[in-house]
Amino acid sequence: MKKVETTNKHKGSLYCSIFGHNFQVSKKVTYHVKEYNCCNCKKQMTTNGNGYLTELTDKFKEINAVLERIHKNKMKRFAKNKEAFSNLKMTS
């Protein structure tokens, strides 16, 4: 009787526990906050307010969603300001 039960998930986390996670950026929230995904075990991490990596819990997902919205709004406003500023420069 053969019983081979090695799921990729298990293999991945074993690999990670020996060699460490292989994180790749899965999402850019702001310039400083990014979400990471381990390509071996699919563990999700994020940058917290102190710039350290922390596990991406539901709480952090919520925070990141808010940060992302604020960041996008800022970018929109910044683009508008820049346009107004260059117009001002040309006329003066």
Binding site for Zn ion (CB under 5 A): 16, 21, 38, 40-41, 43
Q: In the bound complex, what is the minimum distance in angstroms from residue 23's beta carbon to Zn ion? A: 8
Q: How far is CA 6 from CA 27, 41, 42, 82, in A?
A: 30, 13, 16, 56
Q: In the bound complex, what is the minimum distance in angstroms from residue 55's beta carbon to Zn ion? A: 12
Give whichever of 40 and 46 is closer to Zn ion, judged by the CB atom. 40
Give whichever of 27 and 43 is closer to Zn ion, judged by the CB atom. 43
Q: In the bound complex, what is the minimum distance in angstroms from residue 63's beta carbon to Zn ion? A: 22
Query: Are 54 and 46 a contacting pair, CB within 8 Å?
Result: yes
Please choose, from the candidates 75, 44, 38, the residue with its C-alpha nearest in 3D space to the C-alpha of residue 57.
Answer: 44
Three-state DSSP class for 48?
coil
Q: In the bound complex, what is the minimum distance in angstroms from residue 52's beta carbon to Zn ion? A: 17
Counting every residue, how long is the chain? Answer: 92
Give whichever of 16 and 67 is closer to Zn ion, judged by the CB atom. 16
Tokens of 90: 């040309």
Give whichever of 30 and 44 is closer to Zn ion, judged by the CB atom. 44
